[in-house]
Amino acid sequence: MDLKITETINRPIEDVYVLVRDNLDKLVPYLPNVDKIEVKKHAPKDDKTVEVINHWYGKVDMPGMLKKFLSPEIFSWKDVASWDNNEKAVKYKLESFLANDLFDAHGKNFFIDNGDGTTDLKITCTVKIYPEKVPGIPRLLAKKVTPMIETLMEKLLGPNLTSLGSGLQKYFEENS
């Protein structure tokens, strides 16, 4: 799945960029399917780059059949990001807590100054899910539950990536 979306936030680029880079956890109430975000690392690499690692904890309503076999950690992930302060962009890779080969997700997001006090947030992400590699699923059930797992993971990852712009807008409306 390839995600590409551009949204306009009615705030200057510095406000938007700094909030997402330094305080992403403040956006949790405005993101669907996210229980919490924990900042694990936030460190300048050099004058123009900041390395950030966030742990995202998803919330999803699993069908009863899957609850027997899956732990909630399957719907949580590590976000490893490199922020380029000159380009106002972030290159990232998402990693599963349970299995490194459960999915491959990476992208680059751009923060664009429109010159009128607004910022365009351009999100690009490629996600490939390998539900057959989910730990804990008995071999006999794998073919039956694989489509359900893939659908749940898409419903979790996709909306949280594509709703960042609207979440930012709501955050700024409520906190201005």
Residue 79 scores a pLDDT above 90: yes
Residue-level pLDDT at 12: 98
Q: Give the side-chain half-sphere CA count within 13 A for 51.
A: 6
Pick one of 3.50.50.60, 2.40.160.50, 3.30.530.20, 1.10.3720.10 as the CATH number of 2-174: 3.30.530.20
Domain ranges of the chain: 2-174
The pLDDT tens digits of the residues spanning 89-123 come to 999 998 888 766 777 889 999 999 999 999 999 99
- Positive or negative: CA dihedral 113, 23, 52, 128: negative
Report strand pairing: 2-9 vs 103-113: unpaired
Any idea which residue has 């351009």 for tokens?
Answer: 122
CA–CA distance from 142 to each of 1, 52, 112, 145, 160 (Å)?
21, 35, 44, 5, 26
Residue-level pLDDT at 69: 62
Residue-level pLDDT at 158: 60
Residue 66 scores a pLDDT above 70: no
Longest dimension (CA), the chain: 58
The C-alpha atoms of residue 117 and residue 156 are separated, in whole angstroms, by 32
Contacts for 39-45: CB closer than 8 Å, 24+ residues apart: 40/78, 45/82
